[in-house]
Amino acid sequence: MFFHIIDEMNTIVFDIETKGITANDEITVIGLEHSPDPSIHNLYVFYQEPPVAESEKQTPTHIEEYVREEINDITINGFPSLSEYSIKVNSVEAESDLIQEAQKQICELAAEGVGNNATIVGFNSANFDFQMLRTRSLKNSVEWLISGYDSLDIMKSYQYNFRTNDYDVDGLNKPPKKKFAQQLGIEGISSQTADQLTQTIKNHGYSDEELAEFISEEGLETPTVNKGNLDEIFELLTDTTVEEEFESGKMQSTLSRKEISLISSYTTSMISGKPQSSTRSP
Q: What does the domain layout of the chain look like in residue ranges? A: 2-162+249-280, 165-226
For the chain, how many residues are written? 282
72-112 pLDDT, tens digit per residue, is 555 554 555 555 677 888 888 899 999 999 999 999 988 87
Is the pLDDT at 56 greater than 50? The verdict is yes
Mean pLDDT of 12-21: 89
d(CA 197, CA 181): 8
β-strand partners of 16: 30
Mean pLDDT of 136-141: 93
Pick the CATH number of 2-162+249-280 from 3.30.420, 3.40.630, 3.40.50, 3.90.15: 3.30.420
CB atoms within 10 A of CB 223: 18
Is the pLDDT at 1 greater than 60? The verdict is no
Nearest to 84 by CA among 260, 269, 271: 260
- Look at residue 69 in the predicted model and tell me its pLDDT: 64
- Look at residue 160 in the predicted model and tell me its pLDDT: 65
d(CA 100, CA 144): 8
150-185 pLDDT, tens digit per residue, is 888 887 776 667 777 788 888 899 999 999 999 999
Category of 205 on φ-ψ map: left (φ > 0), alpha (ψ -120 to 50) or beta: left
Question: Sorting pLDDT into bands at 50, 70 and 90, what band is 132?
Answer: very high
Chain CA centroid to CA 145, Å: 23
